[in-house]
């Protein structure tokens, strides 16, 4: 059976890929719980579609994550899909400038948050004997670049989290997929030490492209699995 109107939690839904994903799923009949730290952004998103419920939560705080999952379950009785779309980077990303504190900050936002969300949603998915977790990683995992060692390490770690979770939980009908987006025109580009040239930015992915990929994975039959999905800009990849 293909899921077309299930319950989805989008973590990191206040902007970029997360916001686009929340809106796209809602437009296709999903009941969406949009989670992030920025209340104003979430409220604006919720105003765009009646199927979106905002939840102010910090993915790196265990109590917030537990409340986020509980809110969705109390409202609908289940969680069919969780998308971890939260991501962070910093300008001082080179090894000559990266500090241990900033290293830990990025690993916490990009990887520890993904772990906490995974751990908290698994009991719900086990009970219902099914569910899909989608992690938005980075094309930097497959083709190293100068996005910084902390960013790349955290995005590599997300892949291990996804594959390890799937192996442990496959008997419970739980699937995981990792999307590897290439350059995408989102707010995270503002954290680059050197601005992206406009001619390059004009060829980048749009957040809606990533949202379409999430929708594709979410609508697959539970018998089908796409463990990894690269998604890159046509004109910037060879």
- Catalytically active residues are 151
How many Å is the Cα radius of gyration of the chain? 17
- Separation of CA 27 from chain center: 18
Complete DSSP assignment for 45-107: HHHT-TTEEEEE--TTSHHHHHHHHHHHHHHHS---EEEE------S--STTT--HHHHHHHH
Counting Cβ atoms within 10 Å, is residue 109 exposed (0-12), middle (13-18) or buried (19+)?
Answer: buried
Nearest to 225 by CA among 182, 162, 180, 181: 162
Q: What contacts 22, CB < 8 A, 6 or more positions away? A: 8, 10, 13, 32, 34, 45, 52
- Residue 137 burial (CB count, 10 A): 27
């Amino acid at each position: 059976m293909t899921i077309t109107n299930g319950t989805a939690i989008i973590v990191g839904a206040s902007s970029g890929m997360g916001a686009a994903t929340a809106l796209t799923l809602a437009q296709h009949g999903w009941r969406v719980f949009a989670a992030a730290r920025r209340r104003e952004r979430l409220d604006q998103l919720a105003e765009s579609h009646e199927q979106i419920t905002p939840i102010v939560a910090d993915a790196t705080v265990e109590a917030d994550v537990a409340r986020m999952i509980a809110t969705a379950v109390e409202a609908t009785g289940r969680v069919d899909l969780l998308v971890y779309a939260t991501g962070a980077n910093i300008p001082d990303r080179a090894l000559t400038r990266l500090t241990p504190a900033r290293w830990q900050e990025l690993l916490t936002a990009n990887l520890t948050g993904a772990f906490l969300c995974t751990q908290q949603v698994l009991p719900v998915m086990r009970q219902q004997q099914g569910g899909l977790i989608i992690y938005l990683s980075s094309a930097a995992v497959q083709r190293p670049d100068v996005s910084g060692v902390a960013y790349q390490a955290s995005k590599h770690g997300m892949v291990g989290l996804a594959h390890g979770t799937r192996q442990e939980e496959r008997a419970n009908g739980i699937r995981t997929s990792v999307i590897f987006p290439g350059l995408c025109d989102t707010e995270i580009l503002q954290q680059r030490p050197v601005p992206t040239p406009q001619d390059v930015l004009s060829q980048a992915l749009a957040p809606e492209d990533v949202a379409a990929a999430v929708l594709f994975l979410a609508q697959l039959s539970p018998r089908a699995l796409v463990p990894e999905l690269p998604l890159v800009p046509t004109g910037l990849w060879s």
